[in-house]
Amino acid sequence: MSKKSYEQNVSEIASCIEELEKNTLDLEESVVMYEHASKLLLEAQTQLKNAEKKVFLVAEKNLIPFETTLLDTENEDQK
């Protein structure tokens, strides 16, 4: 089984919520649907955290902090 994308997980979670809100499922089906949505939510949260880590790593490597840039410019102006 291949992993779903973040967007696919969010879409499926939304579908589960819609189905649960219809109140047409019996209790057991509702519990199964809730469990499924909970697993998808955990996977989506993990995917989001991993993406956030990647963004921070890229920013750390490639960007100069704004404050440092201002200080360097001020020091050069004073010379």
Domain boundaries along the sequence of the chain: 6-78
> Does the pLDDT at position 67 exceed 70?
no
The answer to whether the CB of 47 falls within 8 A of the CB of 13 is no
Rounded to an integer, the average pLDDT of 2-13 is 93
pTM of this structure: 0.70
Alpha-carbon gap, residue 59 to 62, rounded angstroms: 5
Rounded to an integer, the average pLDDT of 66-74 is 58
pLDDT tens column, 13-25: 999 999 999 999 9
Better-scored residue on pLDDT, 65 or 46: 46
